[in-house]
Amino acid sequence: MKILVVNTGSSSLKFQLIDAKKNFTELYSGIVDNIGKKNCFFDAKINHTRIHFKKNISNHEKGLQEALKIMLKNKAVKSLKEIKAVGHRVVHGGEKYKNAVKITSQVKKTIKELYELAPLHNPANLQGILACEKLLKNIPNIAVFDTSFHQTMPQKAYLYAIPKEYYKKFKIRRYGFHGTSHKYISQETYKLLKNKKAKIITCHLGNGSSISAVSGGKSIDTSMGFTPLEGVIMGTRSGTIDPAIILYLLKKHKLSPEKIDEILNYRSGILAVSEISSDVRDIWAAAQRKNKKAIFALEYMAYSIAKQIGAYIAAMNGIDAITFTAGIGENAWYLRKDICEYLNFIGVKLDTAKNRASKPLISSPLSKVKVFVMPSNEGLEIAEEVINMIK
């Protein structure tokens, strides 16, 4: 049974065709990027071959059309009828969606109502849904929300200490994001630990980064909050700062809300601390050349992440495993080493060679806490949820 997984951003459409009958093998995957812009391109992998070309594609529907055309041309499927369902990554499901849902007109209405909480993502996600409904008729479309996994957080984790009316009227609370990734890697970690009750900290460290405390399979706290801006330092996002800084910039320095938004989302984080790049690879390369700003930026990152992990060890009153994933988590062994050094006090000990090789288990046999590295496969998790829904 073939499932299409679609993940749309404001100017991108990522897709994966997964064969659920063949152990969830990926048959085809790719991206249409810079949709509606001059430098729009198509990039895909099919039958171990890469297909890459530039083409002007004006919207998500045309992007999907292109992806389907190439899928047929390269015989990933003989006919579109082989696709039995589509799974959509939808960023915000608010408090309403605690699990994946079959998309109906009511669900689309709710996704729209949540535009105000996810103005960059939910509109693009709905574009993807509408394109699939139009081009792949009469099959179920399933929404898998980034926020759902964190809906198990207790009130003490999700409420902010501001007057209750802002939660009630404006829905201001911690939602958390990257839920599909935290769910997938925590479940994979449970399999490796063979202990369903374990206390795990999952570290999704990419351009956007978030850390979750997962106890007995449930997310009990997570570092991103009302928006993906809260939490640990990220590529260009500040993470948590004193909220009074915003008021100070607004009132004293007369910066507009738009300007502050731009500063905190696009000009902060690792980019601001290093003044080199938002990409850890560039910073690591500069650190190798003994660039002081780069060395400081890496120290800063490790400190920011280790502090959050420490907080979650206290929140769960213990820890059995830490799992790293995403671009930085999977590759930056030097950051994993620095982060774990802060955790020596509770008996975290890495195996140097395994950490360098990014093996699944990177802690030493002497470590009191197991440390893992694994790729996150949100597409696979979405496909599995789709199968569970349509069964």
Determine whether 274 is exposed, middle or buried from the number of CB atoms within 10 Å of its CB (0-12, 13-18, 19+): buried
When binding is defined by CB under 6 A, the residue of 20, 103, 328, 387 that contacts ligand ADP is: 328
Shortest distance, position 290 Cβ to ligand ADP, whole Å:
18
- Pick out residues in 299-318 that bind ligand ADP (CB under 6 A): none
Report helix, strand or coil for 363. strand
Shortest distance, position 274 Cβ to ligand ADP, whole Å:
11
When binding is defined by CB under 6 A, the residue of 36, 123, 216, 327 that contacts ligand ADP is: 327
- Pick out residues in 241-260 that bind ligand ADP (CB under 6 A): none
Q: Does 239 bind ligand ADP (CB under 6 A)?
A: no
Q: Is 146 a catalytic residue?
A: yes
* CA gap 185, 195 in Å, rounded: 14
Q: Which stretch binds ligand ADP (CB under 6 A): 57-65, 105-113, 287-295, 326-334?
A: 326-334
Strand partners, 163: none
- CB closer to ligand ADP out of 73 and 281: 281
Q: Does 43 bind ligand ADP (CB under 6 A)?
A: no
- CB closer to ligand ADP out of 282 and 351: 282
Q: Which residue has the tokens 């926020």?
A: 147
Single out the residue of 100, 131, 103 nearest to residue 13, CA to CA.
Answer: 131
* CA gap 266, 243 in Å, rounded: 17
Single out the residue of 121, 122, 105, 104 nearest to residue 113, CA to CA.
Answer: 122
Helix, strand, coil fractions of the chain, as percent rounded to 5: 45, 20, 35
Q: Does 9 bind ligand ADP (CB under 6 A)?
A: no
- CA torsion sign, 267 to 271 to 275 to 281? negative
Those residues whose C-beta lies under 8 Å from the C-beta of residue 325, and which sit 6 or more positions away, are 181, 185, 202, 203, 204, 205, 373, 374, 375, 376
- CB closer to ligand ADP out of 93 and 206: 206
Choose the catalytic residue: 146, 261, 279, 351. Answer: 146
* CA gap 243, 247 in Å, rounded: 7
Strand partners, 2: 19, 83
What residue number has its CB nearest to ligand ADP? 327
When binding is defined by CB under 6 A, the residue of 235, 239, 269, 379 that contacts ligand ADP is: 235
When binding is defined by CB under 6 A, the residue of 144, 309, 326, 383 that contacts ligand ADP is: 326
* CA gap 178, 9 in Å, rounded: 14
Shortest distance, position 270 Cβ to ligand ADP, whole Å:
7
Number of residues that bind ligand ADP (CB under 6 A): 12
Shortest distance, position 353 Cβ to ligand ADP, whole Å:
18
Q: Does 262 bind ligand ADP (CB under 6 A)?
A: no
When binding is defined by CB under 6 A, the residue of 27, 298, 321, 332 that contacts ligand ADP is: 332
- Pick out residues in 263-302 that bind ligand ADP (CB under 6 A): 279-281
Distance of CA 280 to the CA centre of its chain: 17
Tell me the two tokens of residue 363.
């802690």
- CB closer to ligand ADP out of 94 and 206: 206
Other CB atoms closer than 10 Å to residue 356's CB: what's the count? 14
- Pick out residues in 180-209 that bind ligand ADP (CB under 6 A): 206-208
Q: Does 87 bind ligand ADP (CB under 6 A)?
A: no
- CB closer to ligand ADP out of 326 and 340: 326
* CA gap 360, 188 in Å, rounded: 10
When binding is defined by CB under 6 A, the residue of 34, 240, 331, 364 that contacts ligand ADP is: 331
- CB closer to ligand ADP out of 286 and 369: 286
Kindly state the DSSP code that residue 140 receives in the 8-state scheme. -
Q: Which stretch binds ligand ADP (CB under 6 A): 49-57, 83-91, 183-191, 322-330?
A: 322-330
Shortest distance, position 144 Cβ to ligand ADP, whole Å:
16
For the chain, strand residue ranges (E) read: 2-9, 12-19, 25-33, 41-46, 49-54, 83-90, 101-102, 141-145, 199-205, 209-215, 218-222, 321-325, 370-373
Q: Does 373 bind ligand ADP (CB under 6 A)?
A: no
Q: Does 30 bind ligand ADP (CB under 6 A)?
A: no
User: Applying CB under 6 A, which residues contact ligand ADP?
Assistant: 206-208, 235, 279-281, 326-328, 331-332
- The catalytic residues are 146
